Structure 1
Amino acid sequence: MKKLFLFIGILMSLNVAAQSKYQKGMQKAFTLWGEGKNTEASQLFERISKAEPQNWLPPFYAAQIEILGAFGVKEEATLTAKLNKAKEFLNNAKSNSENNPEIMITEALLNTAYIAFDGQKYGMTLSGKNAQLYAKALAIAPKNPRVILGNAEWNMGAARFFGKSTKPYCDEIKRAIKLGKEEKIEEEFYPKFQVKRAEEVLKQCQG
Protein backbone atom coordinates (compact mmCIF):
# COMPACT_ATOMS: atom_id res chain seq x y z
CA MET A 1 0.00 0.00 0.00
CA LYS A 2 2.86 2.37 0.82
CA LYS A 3 4.36 1.70 -2.59
CA LEU A 4 1.02 2.53 -4.23
CA PHE A 5 0.79 5.87 -2.40
CA LEU A 6 4.41 6.60 -3.29
CA PHE A 7 3.71 5.86 -6.96
CA ILE A 8 0.64 8.12 -6.93
CA GLY A 9 2.68 10.84 -5.23
CA ILE A 10 5.40 10.64 -7.89
CA LEU A 11 2.80 10.85 -10.66
CA MET A 12 1.20 13.89 -9.05
CA SER A 13 4.53 15.65 -8.58
CA LEU A 14 5.46 14.98 -12.23
CA ASN A 15 2.10 16.37 -13.33
CA VAL A 16 2.59 19.53 -11.23
CA ALA A 17 6.10 20.01 -12.67
CA ALA A 18 4.80 19.61 -16.23
CA GLN A 19 1.93 21.99 -15.52
CA SER A 20 4.33 24.55 -14.11
CA LYS A 21 6.59 24.28 -17.16
CA TYR A 22 3.59 24.74 -19.45
CA GLN A 23 2.37 27.75 -17.49
CA LYS A 24 5.78 29.40 -17.50
CA GLY A 25 6.16 28.79 -21.22
CA MET A 26 2.76 30.25 -22.04
CA GLN A 27 3.34 33.28 -19.83
CA LYS A 28 6.72 33.90 -21.48
CA ALA A 29 5.17 33.60 -24.95
CA PHE A 30 2.48 36.15 -24.06
CA THR A 31 5.14 38.48 -22.66
CA LEU A 32 7.16 38.24 -25.89
CA TRP A 33 4.02 38.91 -27.90
CA GLY A 34 3.20 41.92 -25.73
CA GLU A 35 6.71 43.27 -26.33
CA GLY A 36 6.20 43.05 -30.09
CA LYS A 37 8.60 40.09 -30.45
CA ASN A 38 6.13 38.27 -32.65
CA THR A 39 8.51 35.78 -34.29
CA GLU A 40 9.92 34.68 -30.93
CA ALA A 41 6.42 34.42 -29.45
CA SER A 42 5.12 32.37 -32.37
CA GLN A 43 8.11 30.04 -32.21
CA LEU A 44 7.64 29.54 -28.47
CA PHE A 45 3.92 28.80 -28.87
CA GLU A 46 4.89 26.30 -31.57
CA ARG A 47 7.41 24.59 -29.27
CA ILE A 48 4.84 24.43 -26.49
CA SER A 49 2.31 22.88 -28.91
CA LYS A 50 4.80 20.10 -29.68
CA ALA A 51 5.33 19.49 -25.97
CA GLU A 52 1.56 19.63 -25.35
CA PRO A 53 0.23 17.81 -28.46
CA GLN A 54 -3.32 17.52 -27.13
CA ASN A 55 -3.70 21.18 -26.14
CA TRP A 56 -5.42 23.46 -28.68
CA LEU A 57 -4.35 26.77 -27.13
CA PRO A 58 -0.61 26.97 -28.06
CA PRO A 59 -1.13 26.38 -31.82
CA PHE A 60 -4.19 28.64 -31.70
CA TYR A 61 -2.10 31.57 -30.45
CA ALA A 62 0.73 30.77 -32.87
CA ALA A 63 -1.84 31.00 -35.67
CA GLN A 64 -3.19 34.31 -34.38
CA ILE A 65 0.28 35.89 -34.42
CA GLU A 66 0.86 34.81 -38.03
CA ILE A 67 -2.58 36.03 -39.14
CA LEU A 68 -2.34 39.43 -37.47
CA GLY A 69 1.15 39.83 -38.92
CA ALA A 70 -0.24 39.20 -42.42
CA PHE A 71 -2.35 42.37 -42.42
CA GLY A 72 -0.44 45.14 -44.19
CA VAL A 73 1.97 42.74 -45.92
CA LYS A 74 2.81 44.00 -49.43
CA GLU A 75 4.24 40.86 -51.04
CA GLU A 76 1.81 38.06 -51.88
CA ALA A 77 4.49 35.38 -51.39
CA THR A 78 5.07 36.63 -47.82
CA LEU A 79 1.33 36.77 -47.17
CA THR A 80 0.79 33.24 -48.46
CA ALA A 81 3.71 31.86 -46.43
CA LYS A 82 2.42 33.43 -43.21
CA LEU A 83 -1.18 32.34 -43.75
CA ASN A 84 -0.25 28.80 -44.84
CA LYS A 85 1.72 28.50 -41.61
CA ALA A 86 -1.24 29.88 -39.66
CA LYS A 87 -3.53 27.36 -41.36
CA GLU A 88 -1.28 24.52 -40.22
CA PHE A 89 -1.44 25.81 -36.65
CA LEU A 90 -5.23 26.12 -36.83
CA ASN A 91 -5.57 22.59 -38.21
CA ASN A 92 -3.49 21.40 -35.27
CA ALA A 93 -5.71 23.31 -32.84
CA LYS A 94 -8.85 22.00 -34.56
CA SER A 95 -7.68 18.39 -34.27
CA ASN A 96 -7.71 18.84 -30.49
CA SER A 97 -10.90 20.88 -30.23
CA GLU A 98 -13.62 20.27 -32.82
CA ASN A 99 -16.48 22.73 -33.33
CA ASN A 100 -14.62 25.37 -31.34
CA PRO A 101 -16.07 28.85 -32.04
CA GLU A 102 -12.77 30.54 -31.08
CA ILE A 103 -10.99 28.59 -33.84
CA MET A 104 -13.80 29.28 -36.32
CA ILE A 105 -13.62 33.05 -35.95
CA THR A 106 -9.82 32.88 -36.23
CA GLU A 107 -10.24 30.97 -39.50
CA ALA A 108 -12.52 33.80 -40.63
CA LEU A 109 -9.83 36.31 -39.65
CA LEU A 110 -7.33 34.37 -41.77
CA ASN A 111 -9.69 34.63 -44.75
CA THR A 112 -10.11 38.34 -44.04
CA ALA A 113 -6.34 38.82 -44.28
CA TYR A 114 -6.47 37.41 -47.82
CA ILE A 115 -9.43 39.62 -48.71
CA ALA A 116 -7.76 42.71 -47.25
CA PHE A 117 -4.71 41.99 -49.42
CA ASP A 118 -6.66 41.60 -52.67
CA GLY A 119 -10.44 41.85 -52.49
CA GLN A 120 -10.95 41.20 -56.19
CA LYS A 121 -8.91 38.02 -56.15
CA TYR A 122 -10.07 36.53 -52.84
CA GLY A 123 -13.35 38.29 -51.99
CA MET A 124 -15.70 36.19 -54.09
CA THR A 125 -14.50 32.81 -52.82
CA LEU A 126 -13.78 33.66 -49.17
CA SER A 127 -16.65 36.00 -48.27
CA GLY A 128 -19.15 33.17 -48.40
CA LYS A 129 -16.88 30.97 -46.28
CA ASN A 130 -16.63 33.70 -43.66
CA ALA A 131 -20.41 34.11 -43.52
CA GLN A 132 -20.68 30.35 -42.91
CA LEU A 133 -17.97 30.35 -40.23
CA TYR A 134 -19.57 33.20 -38.27
CA ALA A 135 -23.04 31.67 -38.61
CA LYS A 136 -21.76 28.33 -37.30
CA ALA A 137 -19.83 29.98 -34.44
CA LEU A 138 -22.91 32.01 -33.43
CA ALA A 139 -25.09 28.88 -33.50
CA ILE A 140 -22.65 27.14 -31.13
CA ALA A 141 -21.92 30.14 -28.87
CA PRO A 142 -24.58 32.86 -29.32
CA LYS A 143 -23.40 34.74 -26.23
CA ASN A 144 -19.66 34.56 -26.89
CA PRO A 145 -18.55 38.21 -27.05
CA ARG A 146 -15.59 37.50 -29.35
CA VAL A 147 -17.86 35.74 -31.84
CA ILE A 148 -20.45 38.56 -31.72
CA LEU A 149 -17.79 41.25 -32.18
CA GLY A 150 -16.03 39.36 -34.98
CA ASN A 151 -19.30 38.89 -36.85
CA ALA A 152 -20.23 42.56 -36.41
CA GLU A 153 -16.80 43.70 -37.64
CA TRP A 154 -17.06 41.43 -40.66
CA ASN A 155 -20.50 42.82 -41.51
CA MET A 156 -19.25 46.37 -41.00
CA GLY A 157 -16.43 45.75 -43.46
CA ALA A 158 -18.87 44.39 -46.03
CA ALA A 159 -21.18 47.38 -45.49
CA ARG A 160 -18.32 49.81 -46.06
CA PHE A 161 -17.28 47.94 -49.21
CA PHE A 162 -20.77 48.32 -50.67
CA GLY A 163 -21.12 51.92 -49.46
CA LYS A 164 -23.77 51.13 -46.85
CA SER A 165 -24.17 52.37 -43.28
CA THR A 166 -22.45 50.48 -40.47
CA LYS A 167 -24.97 51.68 -37.86
CA PRO A 168 -27.09 48.50 -37.95
CA TYR A 169 -24.17 46.68 -36.28
CA CYS A 170 -23.58 49.14 -33.44
CA ASP A 171 -26.01 47.40 -31.10
CA GLU A 172 -24.26 44.07 -31.64
CA ILE A 173 -20.92 45.63 -30.70
CA LYS A 174 -22.50 47.13 -27.57
CA ARG A 175 -23.92 43.69 -26.70
CA ALA A 176 -20.48 42.12 -27.19
CA ILE A 177 -18.91 44.71 -24.86
CA LYS A 178 -21.58 44.08 -22.19
CA LEU A 179 -21.12 40.30 -22.41
CA GLY A 180 -17.34 40.69 -22.49
CA LYS A 181 -17.36 42.65 -19.24
CA GLU A 182 -19.57 40.04 -17.59
CA GLU A 183 -17.72 37.01 -18.92
CA LYS A 184 -16.06 34.71 -16.40
CA ILE A 185 -13.29 32.56 -17.89
CA GLU A 186 -12.24 29.51 -15.89
CA GLU A 187 -9.84 27.81 -18.32
CA GLU A 188 -6.28 29.09 -18.00
CA PHE A 189 -5.01 31.02 -21.06
CA TYR A 190 -8.43 30.87 -22.73
CA PRO A 191 -8.95 33.80 -25.15
CA LYS A 192 -10.16 36.94 -23.38
CA PHE A 193 -12.38 39.68 -24.69
CA GLN A 194 -10.50 42.90 -25.44
CA VAL A 195 -12.89 45.59 -24.17
CA LYS A 196 -10.74 48.56 -25.22
CA ARG A 197 -10.41 47.31 -28.79
CA ALA A 198 -14.16 46.66 -28.97
CA GLU A 199 -14.81 50.21 -27.78
CA GLU A 200 -12.58 51.50 -30.61
CA VAL A 201 -14.61 49.43 -33.10
CA LEU A 202 -17.80 50.92 -31.64
CA LYS A 203 -16.47 54.45 -32.23
CA GLN A 204 -15.88 53.59 -35.89
CA CYS A 205 -19.38 52.18 -36.12
CA GLN A 206 -21.02 55.28 -34.74
CA GLY A 207 -18.86 57.39 -37.03
Structure 2
Amino acid sequence: MKHLIIIIAVFLTGMISAQTNYDKGMQKAFELWENNNWTEAEQLFERIAAAEPEQWLPNYYIAQLNSLKTWEEKDADKVKAQLEKAQNYLNDAMSIEKDNADILVMQAQIFTNWVAFDGMTYGMKYSAKISDLYNKAYAIAPENPMVVLNRADWNMGSARYFGQDTKPFCKDVEKAKELFANFKPEKPFYPNWGRERAESILKSCN
Protein backbone atom coordinates (compact mmCIF):
# COMPACT_ATOMS: atom_id res chain seq x y z
CA MET A 1 0.00 0.00 0.00
CA LYS A 2 2.83 2.35 0.87
CA HIS A 3 4.49 1.65 -2.49
CA LEU A 4 1.19 2.31 -4.28
CA ILE A 5 0.81 5.68 -2.55
CA ILE A 6 4.36 6.61 -3.56
CA ILE A 7 3.69 5.62 -7.18
CA ILE A 8 0.48 7.67 -7.28
CA ALA A 9 2.23 10.65 -5.69
CA VAL A 10 5.05 10.50 -8.23
CA PHE A 11 2.52 10.19 -11.07
CA LEU A 12 0.52 13.20 -9.87
CA THR A 13 3.67 15.26 -9.36
CA GLY A 14 4.69 14.45 -12.92
CA MET A 15 1.29 15.54 -14.22
CA ILE A 16 1.43 18.83 -12.31
CA SER A 17 4.99 19.46 -13.47
CA ALA A 18 4.07 18.75 -17.09
CA GLN A 19 1.09 21.08 -16.92
CA THR A 20 3.23 23.78 -15.32
CA ASN A 21 5.82 23.41 -18.06
CA TYR A 22 3.08 23.66 -20.68
CA ASP A 23 1.68 26.82 -19.09
CA LYS A 24 5.11 28.39 -18.79
CA GLY A 25 5.98 27.49 -22.35
CA MET A 26 2.75 28.90 -23.76
CA GLN A 27 3.12 32.09 -21.74
CA LYS A 28 6.68 32.55 -22.98
CA ALA A 29 5.63 31.94 -26.59
CA PHE A 30 2.95 34.64 -26.33
CA GLU A 31 5.44 37.06 -24.81
CA LEU A 32 7.81 36.47 -27.71
CA TRP A 33 4.98 36.99 -30.17
CA GLU A 34 3.83 40.21 -28.49
CA ASN A 35 7.41 41.50 -28.68
CA ASN A 36 7.47 40.78 -32.45
CA ASN A 37 9.82 37.82 -32.10
CA TRP A 38 7.60 35.77 -34.38
CA THR A 39 10.20 33.21 -35.42
CA GLU A 40 11.19 32.42 -31.84
CA ALA A 41 7.53 32.25 -30.80
CA GLU A 42 6.76 29.85 -33.64
CA GLN A 43 9.73 27.65 -32.78
CA LEU A 44 8.64 27.50 -29.15
CA PHE A 45 5.07 26.60 -30.12
CA GLU A 46 6.54 23.82 -32.27
CA ARG A 47 8.50 22.44 -29.33
CA ILE A 48 5.41 22.58 -27.13
CA ALA A 49 3.33 20.83 -29.80
CA ALA A 50 5.91 18.05 -30.02
CA ALA A 51 6.09 17.67 -26.23
CA GLU A 52 2.31 17.94 -25.66
CA PRO A 53 0.68 15.91 -28.47
CA GLU A 54 -2.72 16.04 -26.75
CA GLN A 55 -2.86 19.85 -26.80
CA TRP A 56 -4.43 21.50 -29.87
CA LEU A 57 -3.56 25.11 -29.06
CA PRO A 58 0.17 25.09 -29.97
CA ASN A 59 -0.73 23.68 -33.40
CA TYR A 60 -3.46 26.30 -33.78
CA TYR A 61 -1.09 29.17 -33.06
CA ILE A 62 1.58 27.85 -35.43
CA ALA A 63 -1.12 27.82 -38.09
CA GLN A 64 -2.20 31.35 -37.17
CA LEU A 65 1.34 32.72 -37.22
CA ASN A 66 2.00 31.30 -40.68
CA SER A 67 -1.38 32.50 -41.92
CA LEU A 68 -0.72 36.04 -40.70
CA LYS A 69 2.79 36.14 -42.15
CA THR A 70 1.48 35.66 -45.68
CA TRP A 71 -0.27 39.04 -45.68
CA GLU A 72 3.08 40.84 -45.69
CA GLU A 73 4.97 38.35 -47.87
CA LYS A 74 5.52 39.07 -51.56
CA ASP A 75 7.53 35.97 -52.48
CA ALA A 76 5.12 33.42 -53.97
CA ASP A 77 7.19 30.42 -52.90
CA LYS A 78 7.33 31.64 -49.31
CA VAL A 79 3.58 32.29 -49.27
CA LYS A 80 2.90 28.76 -50.47
CA ALA A 81 5.31 27.28 -47.92
CA GLN A 82 3.76 29.27 -45.08
CA LEU A 83 0.19 28.33 -45.99
CA GLU A 84 1.11 24.68 -46.43
CA LYS A 85 2.78 24.70 -43.01
CA ALA A 86 -0.26 26.44 -41.52
CA GLN A 87 -2.51 23.76 -43.00
CA ASN A 88 -0.38 20.89 -41.74
CA TYR A 89 -0.40 22.17 -38.18
CA LEU A 90 -4.09 23.00 -38.30
CA ASN A 91 -4.73 19.43 -39.47
CA ASP A 92 -2.94 18.29 -36.31
CA ALA A 93 -5.16 20.57 -34.22
CA MET A 94 -8.26 19.17 -35.93
CA SER A 95 -7.16 15.61 -35.18
CA ILE A 96 -7.06 16.49 -31.47
CA GLU A 97 -10.11 18.75 -31.18
CA LYS A 98 -13.25 17.90 -33.13
CA ASP A 99 -15.95 20.39 -34.19
CA ASN A 100 -14.13 23.35 -32.67
CA ALA A 101 -15.41 26.74 -33.86
CA ASP A 102 -12.03 28.45 -33.41
CA ILE A 103 -10.32 25.85 -35.57
CA LEU A 104 -13.01 26.19 -38.23
CA VAL A 105 -12.44 29.96 -38.30
CA MET A 106 -8.70 29.44 -38.68
CA GLN A 107 -9.31 27.01 -41.54
CA ALA A 108 -11.45 29.66 -43.23
CA GLN A 109 -8.65 32.18 -42.66
CA ILE A 110 -6.09 29.93 -44.34
CA PHE A 111 -8.38 29.37 -47.32
CA THR A 112 -8.97 33.13 -47.49
CA ASN A 113 -5.23 33.69 -47.66
CA TRP A 114 -5.05 31.34 -50.65
CA VAL A 115 -7.79 33.37 -52.34
CA ALA A 116 -6.00 36.64 -51.54
CA PHE A 117 -2.76 35.18 -52.87
CA ASP A 118 -4.23 34.04 -56.20
CA GLY A 119 -7.92 34.72 -56.68
CA MET A 120 -8.02 33.34 -60.21
CA THR A 121 -6.67 29.97 -59.09
CA TYR A 122 -8.17 29.60 -55.62
CA GLY A 123 -11.30 31.77 -55.64
CA MET A 124 -13.59 29.17 -57.18
CA LYS A 125 -11.90 26.39 -55.22
CA TYR A 126 -12.29 27.86 -51.74
CA SER A 127 -14.98 30.57 -51.69
CA ALA A 128 -17.92 28.24 -51.06
CA LYS A 129 -15.88 26.24 -48.54
CA ILE A 130 -15.06 29.41 -46.61
CA SER A 131 -18.73 30.35 -46.37
CA ASP A 132 -19.59 26.81 -45.25
CA LEU A 133 -16.88 26.87 -42.58
CA TYR A 134 -18.13 30.14 -41.12
CA ASN A 135 -21.72 28.94 -41.14
CA LYS A 136 -20.70 25.72 -39.39
CA ALA A 137 -18.66 27.65 -36.82
CA TYR A 138 -21.61 29.99 -36.23
CA ALA A 139 -23.94 27.03 -35.70
CA ILE A 140 -21.54 25.70 -33.05
CA ALA A 141 -20.69 28.99 -31.31
CA PRO A 142 -23.01 31.89 -32.24
CA GLU A 143 -21.81 33.90 -29.21
CA ASN A 144 -18.12 33.61 -30.07
CA PRO A 145 -17.09 37.11 -31.21
CA MET A 146 -14.32 35.80 -33.49
CA VAL A 147 -16.84 33.62 -35.30
CA VAL A 148 -19.35 36.47 -35.66
CA LEU A 149 -16.71 38.99 -36.74
CA ASN A 150 -14.88 36.88 -39.29
CA ARG A 151 -18.10 35.56 -40.79
CA ALA A 152 -19.31 39.13 -41.25
CA ASP A 153 -15.91 40.24 -42.59
CA TRP A 154 -15.98 37.48 -45.21
CA ASN A 155 -19.56 38.28 -46.18
CA MET A 156 -18.68 41.95 -46.55
CA GLY A 157 -15.70 41.11 -48.74
CA SER A 158 -17.84 38.86 -50.92
CA ALA A 159 -20.52 41.55 -51.25
CA ARG A 160 -17.88 44.11 -52.15
CA TYR A 161 -16.43 41.80 -54.80
CA PHE A 162 -19.82 41.36 -56.46
CA GLY A 163 -20.69 45.06 -56.22
CA GLN A 164 -23.33 44.55 -53.54
CA ASP A 165 -24.13 46.64 -50.47
CA THR A 166 -21.99 45.78 -47.44
CA LYS A 167 -24.12 47.73 -44.97
CA PRO A 168 -26.37 44.77 -44.01
CA PHE A 169 -23.35 43.06 -42.43
CA CYS A 170 -22.38 46.03 -40.27
CA LYS A 171 -24.92 44.95 -37.66
CA ASP A 172 -23.06 41.64 -37.34
CA VAL A 173 -19.78 43.48 -36.75
CA GLU A 174 -21.54 45.59 -34.13
CA LYS A 175 -22.76 42.40 -32.49
CA ALA A 176 -19.19 41.04 -32.50
CA LYS A 177 -17.99 44.21 -30.78
CA GLU A 178 -20.63 43.78 -28.09
CA LEU A 179 -19.67 40.13 -27.63
CA PHE A 180 -16.00 41.05 -27.29
CA ALA A 181 -16.86 43.40 -24.41
CA ASN A 182 -17.87 40.48 -22.18
CA PHE A 183 -15.95 37.66 -23.81
CA LYS A 184 -13.86 35.38 -21.61
CA PRO A 185 -12.00 32.48 -23.22
CA GLU A 186 -13.13 29.07 -22.02
CA LYS A 187 -9.65 28.12 -20.79
CA PRO A 188 -6.20 29.73 -20.51
CA PHE A 189 -4.55 30.45 -23.86
CA TYR A 190 -7.76 29.91 -25.83
CA PRO A 191 -8.12 32.26 -28.82
CA ASN A 192 -9.11 35.83 -28.04
CA TRP A 193 -8.34 38.16 -30.93
CA GLY A 194 -10.09 40.48 -33.36
CA ARG A 195 -11.24 43.45 -31.26
CA GLU A 196 -9.14 45.92 -33.25
CA ARG A 197 -10.40 44.49 -36.52
CA ALA A 198 -13.99 44.93 -35.40
CA GLU A 199 -13.33 48.59 -34.52
CA SER A 200 -11.67 49.18 -37.88
CA ILE A 201 -14.56 47.71 -39.84
CA LEU A 202 -17.11 49.70 -37.84
CA LYS A 203 -15.33 52.91 -38.74
CA SER A 204 -15.82 52.10 -42.41
CA CYS A 205 -19.44 51.20 -41.71
CA ASN A 206 -20.02 54.62 -40.19
Interval containing the TM-score (normalised by the shorter chain): over 0.9
What is the SS of the residue equivalent to 1:187? Answer: coil
Letter in 2 for 1:105: V
Q: Does 1:167 align with 2:167?
A: yes
Letter in 2 for 1:40: E
Letter in 2 for 1:60: Y
**Distance in 1, Cα, partners of 2:76 & 2:205:** 30
> In the alignment, what sits opposite 2:195?
195
> In the alignment, what sits opposite 1:143?
143
> In the alignment, what sits opposite 1:23?
23
Question: Scaled by the length of structure 2, what TM-score is found?
Answer: 0.94
71-80 or 22-31, which moves further after superposition? 71-80
**Counterparts in 2 of 1:107-146, with a 5 A limit?**
107-146=107-146
Runs of 4+ with >6 A deviation? none
> In the alignment, what sits opposite 1:48?
48
90-99 or 141-150, which moves further after superposition? 141-150
Q: Does 1:99 align with 2:99?
A: yes
> In the alignment, what sits opposite 1:9?
9
Do 1:73 and 1:117's aligned partners in 2 also have CA atoms closer than 8 Å?
no
Deviation at 1:177, TM superposition (A): 1.4
**Distance in 1, Cα, partners of 2:32 & 2:133:** 30
> In the alignment, what sits opposite 1:185?
185
Letter in 2 for 1:54: E
Deviation at 1:5, TM superposition (A): 2.6
Letter in 1 for 2:63: A
CA deviations 1:53-111 (Å, max 9, x no partner) are 01100000000000000113222211110000000000000000011111111011111
Q: Does 1:38 align with 2:38?
A: yes
Do 1:70 and 1:79's aligned partners in 2 also have CA atoms closer than 8 Å?
yes
Do 2:149 and 2:194's aligned partners in 1 also have CA atoms closer than 8 Å?
no
> In the alignment, what sits opposite 1:62?
62
Deviation at 1:4, TM superposition (A): 2.7
Deviation at 1:197, TM superposition (A): 2.9
How many residues align structurally?
206
What is the SS of the residue equivalent to 1:71? Answer: helix
What is the SS of the residue equivalent to 2:137? Answer: helix
Do 2:90 and 2:107's aligned partners in 1 also have CA atoms closer than 8 Å?
yes
Identity of aligned residues (%): 46
**Distance in 2, Cα, partners of 1:194 & 1:120:** 28
**Distance in 1, Cα, partners of 2:83 & 2:181:** 31
Do 1:169 and 1:205's aligned partners in 2 also have CA atoms closer than 8 Å?
no
Do 1:156 and 1:205's aligned partners in 2 also have CA atoms closer than 8 Å?
no
